[in-house]
Structure 1
């Protein structure tokens, strides 16, 4: 628990460093450009297809009655665009996660590794291909579970918990691999991830909970066509910020865990070395 809390505090302070704030710019611009094109070309066709499907299967009456039973009858008027945006949400978040992984995580690794953990040897147990494979199979599993639990949207508290756990698992699997790719051997990576799987899942789940705010902004875009571009842009930027903070948290946690693993120290014991300096310079 001490390692969990200490790494959170260090990541929070590091996030305020001007260099870390600048690292959100490139993935934000690339994600924004990609999704501006996607929404411009693809949103209306998706809405039209869903509208036709609902009409041909007489689903508006049934779902409208269900929403009214839950006290959300007003959502019937925006049901189709809401479902369209909800369907696109995992892809939007994945692009932000991938671009952060490509453009930001390596810079975070260099910043944290050289400044706080210069004593750690790099054993290069990971690879770009391994990172890509991990991202793809984890996202495939996540997508199946996301679609299987889409009905929980009707019960907001349950939806918040389940989707935070889903995002937590995806973030933990992807970011933990990328964090240890350069520093740990394949055997060390497997050992550290197994030993610390529950704290790392908790880190990812908290990140998923922090993603609730940009999710609401993204879905809130269906309420106003005029505000959709601005709300989508803010949602993408907030997701990038959340992922950068999460990357910092994983970096501090995983590198400290690796250092303790190599020294044979207890996973949650006192620090192995004096690597507590977190004041941005």
Structure 2
């Protein structure tokens, strides 16, 4: 419990560091860049295609005509850009978050290691590509679990329990592995994940519930369309900050646990060496007494 609470408060404090804040703002910059590239190369063609698609729907053509007569304007010419924006924004957001998520975990773990554990030896127990392959495999398993458990979401209590548990399990398996990949050996990592399975799962579940916070902002964006372009960047920043906090929490916990494990093993080895030395000295004393007349 001490390690859990200590790592929590340290992660909160690290979220206020300028470096972490800059990393959490990167998705906004990436979103603006991707939106600018999309607008420059594909905006006109996409809007024209969307307008043609709206006009081509037989069931809605009469509705557009009625709305046009009511407001004295071409409704599809106004609606087409809005449809493109609402359809393209989630894609741009997801791509930005995936890029930043892949680039944030390593630097945040390095930040914790350099500030708190500069003397901790790096045994490099996992490769980058192995970590990526493992993360993709676990993500597929989590998505399958979500799909299989969807019928149970109709039961009111389970919809608040099952998705956070699944995402918490995924977060625990991926982030704990990544936090130890650089510093722990394969044997040390397996021992730590086995000994601290329950606290790490608790961290993952809590981070899973925190990850639901941007959903409230998304829902607000749908309800208040006028503030959509303000609420969407806010949701992205909150989500990225939650990701940064999660990575920092796992990094503080796992690296502290690794340092304690190595200290315990070194103390046990020193004690065993001292015991062997004392036994050897006693044997030499007995031998010398036996040889003396």
Instruction: Give the TM-score category using the shorter length.
Output: 0.5 to 0.7
Distance 1:207 1:110, change over 3 A: same
**Corresponding residue number in structure 2 for 1:25:** 25
Paired residues for 1:154-169 under 5 Å: 154=154, 157-169=157-169
Note the aligned Cα RMSD (angstroms).
3.3
Secondary structure in structure 1 of the residue aligned to 2:193: helix
Is there any run of 5+ residues in structure 2 with no aligned partner, and where? Answer: 54-85, 266-293
Unaligned stretches of 5+ residues in structure 1: 49-83, 266-281
Higher RCO (C-alpha under 8 Å, 6+ residues apart): 1
Q: Scaled by the length of structure 2, what TM-score is found?
A: 0.65
Residue aligning to 1:6: 6
The separation in 2 between residues aligned to 1:230 and 1:262, in whole angstroms, is 48
Greater helix share, 1 or 2? 2
Between the aligned partners of 2:133 and 2:93, the Cα distance in structure 1 is 19
User: 2:197 aligns to what?
Assistant: 197
Equivalent residues, number: 222
Match for residue 180 of structure 1? 180
Deviations 1:159-182 (A, max 9, x none): 222221122111111111111111
Contact 1:100–1:244 (8 Å) recurs in 2: no
1:47-66 aligned at under 5 Å gives the runs none
- The residue that corresponds to 1:57 in the other structure is none
CA radius of gyration, larger in: 2
TM-score, structure 1 as length reference: 0.68
Corresponding residue for 1:129? Answer: 129
Cα distance change on mapping 1:8 and 1:2 into 2, 3 Å: same
Q: Distance in 2 between matches of 1:23 and 1:211?
A: 17
Alpha-carbon distance in structure 2 between the residues aligned to 1:94 and 1:157: 32
Q: 1:224 to 1:203 in 2, by over 3 A?
A: same
Q: Does residue 102 of the first structure (1) align with residue 102 of the second (2)?
A: yes
3-state SS of paired residue (1:149): helix
Contact conserved, 1:27 with 1:100, CA < 8 A, in 2? yes
Q: Structure 1 191/31 Cα, relative in aligned 2: closer, same or farther at 3 Å?
A: farther
